Structure formats: structure tokens, C-alpha cells
Amino acid sequence: MVEGSTSDGPSVAVPVTNVPSTVATIRSLGPRGIHTVVLSEKSTSQAFASKYCDEVVTTADPSADLLAYRDDLLDVAARDDVRTIVPVREVDAYVLSRYRSAFEPHVSLPVPDVERLERVHDRLLLAEEARAAGVPVPETYRPDEVDDWSRDLLAKSRYNLLTATYDDSLGPEESATSDTIEHLEAGVVPDLDSLRARHQVEPIVQEFVPADEEFMVAALYDSGEPLAVFQHRQVRGTRYTGSGGAYRESVSIPELEAVATDLLDHLEWHGLACLEYLRDETTGEFVLAEINPRMWQSLASTVAMGADFPRYYWQQATGRADEIDPAYDVGVGCHWVKGEFLHALSLFRFDSPHVERPGYAATLRDIAVSTYRHPRFDYLSLDDPGPFLQDCSTLLAELPAVPRLQIGG
């Protein structure tokens, strides 16, 4: 790793994130002779510890100054060696899409235009698009539209990311993530002012979907046409009440692919999409939870299962989309060790009126059995051990800040 160096060969710029997707991207592209430039506002990162991190470029913190972050990305994009920038966070997708015209003279960016991005970032608009596409989506309301609080309901952030585009109280340089989900107690009318305050802006209220299983569909699109589509079943999340994946197994279910591609076709999508689904235990339908227009937390497991989306993204960005082979292996499992630990910890630290807490002994047994049967891991690698060791160090530092018992999650 060399701070501030450049390359004579082709380079890819990858922003840093605290989940495995940055490491998965550089582990995919680095061995192919592509110079990896990790962009970071942080002094430490799991990605820095990887032998495939060729260069680190310091950027402004987008949560402190979004426009300065944009300008830092533009400086990197203007380098002769950099071919593309990979969106791994919501803020990356927003900046690259919102200011795409400024980036396009320098790099190739398979990202949606800002109008389509806004229709998936705004979960109220996303529900409208899903209904128009004829795919299942939970009933979704503004809080003051709910006339029956006796049902099982959720309150969740309306936007994946808060910026001046979505919240006019923010300045153009301000941004904030907003991903709070609350499991509301049936029959109790919440204080709407407090609800808005906790979510920073007015949230949405959705019906709770009683799900027997959770799934993720990943896709890469080119102007409304799918280049690659992948599915996994999320067996465990980082919280038992629902969250990003800790253990997943690859699947191929035609009905699941259909509801995902029908929606993306309707949106005439371009670039990356991560769609989360719940299978309704009463109807068997795959019900949309959300779309993230970027690389996903479980990207490392997707690559381990044979669907190398960092390589697909690079191929699309460099004009070689015809070389993409979207085949992958079914029935392959992969773990995020830190995520498994957080899942077990969530049994003590979170509560929900809608989701039954699993038994602790049974959970530990399930983790042990699946690890024995499927010994594949997001960070853990004998070839590149640094990111795993750094992830363990980060977990130990974060533990005191993990909240105690909470409702929902």
C-alpha cells in the first residue's frame, strides 16, 4: 500500500466502507492487474490491510462536506489511469449519479440517472413504482395517512440517504444516512412528532410482512437490459429482528428473479441494484423491502458463490459487457464472522413485538453447523489475512458503543 502513488496501467477507484464490499472489490480486481485506489476519509480501514490495496487517497468526509467529497472524487476521476469509480455506499451512488455530467468526461460510470436514483432512494416513490410494475410491495403510508394503528406496522426512514435533494432543511454540502427501522406495537398510536424527530425527517409507515425467509437479488443492468442477475437466501442477519446478512446461501428461484427483473425493467434501470425481499409466510409471495443502487454488504459472499460483480462492473465500464458470464453456483454458503457475532449478540440487545427471539443455544448450534458445512468467509482468507484481523480489531473497539436492549432494530 502506497499513499499518493499513481499507476501507468488501468486503475479502479473504490471508496472505503465498514462492511466487506470494498475489500471484496479490490480482491476481485487487484489480481487481474488492475491498480486499486482506495478512497477514504478515515485513518484506518479493513481495506488498508489487504495486500490488494495498491494506493490510498484521502478524501473529505461526505457526512461533513458532501461537495468537498464530490470534488475529491472528481480529482481522482481526472487522473489518466483511473477508468471508473465503484459505488459501495449510498453517498457514492448519489454523488456519481447527481453529478454524472461532471464525471463523464473523465471516467465511465454505469450508474442510474438522478431521476431514477431518486425513485429508489425515496421509499414512498419506490412503493408506487413497484405497484406500477405489478410486483408485491407492503402497503406504505405517510404517518398521518394511517387510520388503523391496531395492525402490525413498521416505521422506517423514507430515504436511504438524506441530502438537500430530499430534505430542503439541509444545505447542499450536508448529508446523513438514515436507516432506522422501528417495529411499532399494535394498538399504540405513536407520537408523530417524536417519530419524525427520531427519523430526522418524516418517515414512512409500512405493514409488517410475516416472513418465513429473506432473500437478496443482485443485478447489473445496461440501459434497461440485464447483464447479470444473482440471488441468495439470507439465513441470518446481523440482528435477528432483520438487517444486513451474516450468513447467506446462493439460490436460483425463477419467481424471485421475475419480481426483481420486472421492477428493474419497469424502471429502465442502469448500473448496480441490490433488491431485498421477504417471502410472505401467508401468501408465499416475494415482497419487496428496498433497493440499494450500489454494491451490497454481502458482496464478498456473492463473489465466493461465483458471481463476480466487481469484475462485471469493470467489464461494463470498460466497454466489454459482452464478456460477462453471469452463471454462479447454487447451494453455496458464506459467512461474515463479525456479522455472526453481532447476530448472536442481538439476542440479548434487541427486542421486537413482531419477531420471536430465537433460542440462544439453537442459534449457536446453527452457526457452528453452517460454518462446518460451508467454511467460506467474507474477510477470512489465508491468502490475504489482514482485513480479517482488522475487522476483529474494529469489532472489539465498537462493542462498548453497541446499544443494549432496543425495540425493533
What sign does the dihedral 205-208-214-215 (CA atoms) show? negative
What sign does the dihedral 166-170-173-174 (CA atoms) show? negative
For position 391, what pLDDT does the model report?
84
pLDDT at position 379 over 90: no
CATH for 2-116, options being 3.40.50.300, 3.40.50.20, 3.40.50.1580, 1.10.730.10: 3.40.50.20
Which set of grid coordinates corresponds to residue 18?
465498514
For position 139, what pLDDT does the model report?
95
pLDDT one-digit tens code per residue, 288-303: 999 999 999 999 999 9
What are the φ and ψ backbone dihedral angles of 118, each rounded to 5 degrees? Answer: -65, -30
Report percent pLDDT > 70 for the chain. 95
What sign does the dihedral 231-233-236-240 (CA atoms) show? positive
Query: Average pLDDT over the chain, rounded to whole?
Result: 91
Q: Which CATH architecture has domain 122-409?
A: 2-Layer Sandwich (3.30)
pLDDT at position 200 over 90: no
| Paired residues of 161 in beta bridges | 177
Model-level pTM? 0.91
What angle do helix axes 123-133 and 254-267 make, rounded to 10 degrees? 110
pLDDT one-digit tens code per residue, 152-173: 999 999 998 999 998 888 999 9
Report percent pLDDT > 90 for the chain. 74
Domains 2-116 and 122-409 are alike in CATH topology: no
State the Cα–Cα distance between residues 193 and 179, nearest whole angstrom: 18
For position 404, what pLDDT does the model report?
47
Which set of grid coordinates corresponds to residue 33?
492487474
pLDDT one-digit tens code per residue, 225-271: 999 999 999 999 888 877 678 899 999 999 999 999 999 999 999 99
pLDDT band at 400; cut points 50, 70, 90: low
Mean pLDDT of 364-391: 91
Task: Give residue limits of the domains in the chain.
Answer: 2-116, 122-409
- H-assigned helices in 234-385: 254-267, 299-304, 309-317, 337-349, 360-373
pLDDT one-digit tens code per residue, 47-65: 999 999 999 999 999 999 9
pLDDT at position 2 over 50: no
HSE at residue 129, side-chain half, CA atoms within 13 A, is: 27
State the Cα–Cα distance between residues 78 and 104, nearest whole angstrom: 10
pLDDT: which is higher, 352 or 256: 256
For position 352, what pLDDT does the model report?
79
Residue owning grid cell 489518466: 80
Mean pLDDT of 204-218: 94
pLDDT: which is higher, 23 or 7: 23
Least-confidence region, from 214-223, 235-244, 333-342, 400-409: 400-409
What sign does the dihedral 154-160-164-170 (CA atoms) show? positive
Least-confidence region, from 277-286, 320-329, 348-357, 395-404: 395-404
For position 405, what pLDDT does the model report?
41
For position 408, what pLDDT does the model report?
45
For residues 133 and 263, the answer to whether their CB atoms sit within 8 Å is: yes
pLDDT: which is higher, 3 or 315: 315
What are the φ and ψ backbone dihedral angles of 407, each rounded to 5 degrees? Answer: -85, 130
Closest CA to 409 of 186, 184, 127: 184
pLDDT band at 215; cut points 50, 70, 90: very high
For residues 218 and 274, the answer to whether their CB atoms sit within 8 Å is: yes
Q: How many CB atoms sit inside 10 A of residue 150's CB?
A: 9
**Residue 177: strand, helix, or coil:** strand
pLDDT at position 27 over 90: yes
